[in-house]
């Protein structure tokens, strides 16, 4: 176990957490909206109300693109870890927060629908 923990860096854990957040958002959206017959609310505000409606496929596509982008971030973190630790750390934390924000956005969209 100690050898495994010695090989896994904090940067990789942060970037994996971001990817995991986006993947969980995608799975949660699919489970919650798979029975949606009509259009779903995609964008809304408390002042103006519903701004955009669309099919669940739009939400799935957006989540898939976000997962791919976060995977690319994770690969960049892995590649930069030996060369530039500051940039790798910055990108790892940014990946984590992007994944967290994607999860929060999908949670809000699912709660409205």
Q: Which residues pair with 54 in a beta bridge?
A: 40
Domain boundaries, position 49:
17-112
For residue 32, being part of any structural domain is answered with: yes
Confidence class for position 59, pLDDT limits 50, 70, 90: confident
- Write out pLDDT tens, residues 2-11: 555 556 678 8
* 89: in domain: yes
As for how many domains the chain has, the answer is 1
Q: What is the pTM of this model?
A: 0.80
99 falls within a domain: yes
Q: What is the pLDDT of residues 37-54, one digit of tens each?
A: 778 888 877 788 888 888
Tens-place pLDDT, residues 29-38 = 888 888 877 7
Instruction: For residue 1, tell me if it sits in a domain.
Output: no
Is residue 58 included in any domain, yes or no?
A: yes
Q: What percent of the chain has pLDDT over 90?
A: 21
At residue 1, the pLDDT reads: 56
| End-to-end Cα spacing for the chain | 44
């Amino acid at each position: 176990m100690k050898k495994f923990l010695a090989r896994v860096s904090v940067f990789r854990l942060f970037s994996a957490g971001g990817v995991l957040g986006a993947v969980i958002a995608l799975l949660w959206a699919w489970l919650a909206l798979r029975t949606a017959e009509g259009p779903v609310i995609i964008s809304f505000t408390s002042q103006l109300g519903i701004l955009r409606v669309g099919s669940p496929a739009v939400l799935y596509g957006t989540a898939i693109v976000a997962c791919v982008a976060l995977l690319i971030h994770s690969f960049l973190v892995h590649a930069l870890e030996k060369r530039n630790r500051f940039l790798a750390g910055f990108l790892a934390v940014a990946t984590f927060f992007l994944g967290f924000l994607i999860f929060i956005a999908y949670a809000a969209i699912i709660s409205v629908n």
